[in-house]
């Protein structure tokens, strides 16, 4: 009898095929993992889970007595209750070092789209409103030689800084838990406190991981510190921003516009106020969503899973205390 693995939410079939000969793979998508009876039944026999954004907490772990590893198909792992997993000897892994360039492309892309009003003016043309020379009402703002403030100068933040500095001659300010000397040397990035960054930046790009410290990091006070000409960009997690405060900042014209790839609730409701602003670019969490990158991530997630199930230390183990091997 084959050992059971649960694939949850989203893992490319091309990667899962590596498991077919040795494991029974049961796939779940679009379910409530707390109430779905088939999922809860599968947990009883599952030794491994691979997938995206499954909340792994004490309640789930109590349903999974044989579980050895949860392999996240993402860089983030805030969905994993690592303390509870470690108590039970359940390993957790993620997929770093794969999506930086792809995500940076997407985030810098929506920054450009917001600054140059690309989505808004695309609609303007398609709606038949382009009947002559543009007026100043359709003018946008430059990106080159402006100041880009990056909050969260990790791998993705550094890759965004690279595009801004080397591609658009932008001055880079950054705020981070610790200094990023490599970014300072390569991209002439200047470390500063959060308030200074907010006051001086023409573009504020939010890229920290979601933690208790970063939840609602940007709210009413922070938006009021930004320039009226500032474009706010969020490519981190929706909960790092107080969306009500963002809506008020846009209504009061405290900022020029926003570019958002993440939201507090995803998918965002079609009647959400943020979707009513023409100066807000909204994309459906597309950061790593190219076939090439998603396949690399899925293959790495499966590689981590297989290592954990065969007694080896997974390459991207995030709670090393749970590993019982050599």
User: Catalytic residues, which ones?
Assistant: 237, 266, 285
- Residue 153 and residue 159: Cα distance in Å, rounded? 9
Residues 249 and 227 sit within 8 Å (Cβ to Cβ): no
In the sheet that 203-206 helps form, which strands lie side by side, from edge to edge? 190-191, 171-175, 147-151, 203-206, 231-234, 257-260, 280-282
Residues 114 and 281 sit within 8 Å (Cβ to Cβ): yes
User: For the chain, where are the E strands, in sequence order?
Assistant: 3-8, 23-28, 46-51, 69-72, 91-93, 147-151, 171-175, 190-191, 203-206, 231-234, 257-260, 280-282
Quick check: helix, strand or coil at residue 70? strand
State how far Cα 293 lies from the chain centre.
14
Choose among 12, 76, 106: nearest CA to 302: 12
- For residue 267, whether the previous peptide bond is cis, meaning omega lies within 30 degrees of 0, is yes
Quick check: helix, strand or coil at residue 282? strand
* Bridge partners of residue 147, in order along the sequence: 171
- Residue 17 and residue 295: Cα distance in Å, rounded? 12
């Amino acid at each position: 009898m084959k050992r059971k693995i649960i694939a949850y939410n989203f893992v490319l079939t091309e990667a899962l095929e590596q498991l077919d000969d040795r494991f029974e793979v049961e796939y779940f998508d679009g379910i409530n993992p707390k109430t779905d009876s088939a999922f809860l039944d599968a947990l009883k026999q599952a030794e491994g889970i691979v997938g995206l954004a499954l909340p792994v907490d004490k309640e789930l772990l109590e349903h999974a007595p044989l579980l050895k590893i949860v392999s996240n198909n993402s860089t983030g792992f805030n969905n994993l209750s690592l303390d509870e997993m470690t108590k039970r000897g359940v390993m957790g892994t993620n997929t770093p070092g794969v999506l930086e360039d792809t995500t940076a492309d997407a985030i810098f892309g929506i920054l450009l789209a917001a600054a140059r009003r690309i989505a808004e003016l695309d609609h303007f043309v398609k709606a038949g409103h382009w009947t002559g020379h543009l007026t100043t009402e359709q003018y946008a703002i430059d990106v080159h030689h402006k100041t880009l403030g990056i909050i969260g100068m990790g791998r993705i933040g550094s890759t965004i800084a690279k595009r801004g500095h080397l591609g658009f001659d932008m001055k880079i300010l950054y705020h981070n838990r610790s200094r990023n000397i490599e970014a300072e040397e390569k991209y002439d990035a200047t470390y500063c406190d959060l308030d200074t960054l907010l006051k001086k930046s023409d573009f504020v790009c939010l890229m920290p991981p979601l933690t208790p410290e970063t939840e609602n990091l940007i709210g009413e006070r922070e938006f009021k510190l930004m320039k009226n000409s500032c474009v706010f960009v969020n490519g981190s997690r929706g909960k790092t921003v107080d969306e009500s405060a963002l809506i008020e900042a846009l209504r009061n014209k405290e900022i020029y516009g926003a570019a958002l790839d993440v939201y507090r609730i995803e998918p965002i409701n079609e009647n959400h106020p943020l979707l009513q602003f023409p100066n807000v670019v909204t994309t459906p969490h597309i950061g790593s969503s190219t076939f090439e990158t998603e396949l690399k991530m899925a293959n790495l997630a499966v590689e981590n899973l297989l290592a954990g199930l065969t007694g080896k230390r997974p390459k991207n183990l995030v709670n090393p205390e749970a590993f019982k091997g050599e």
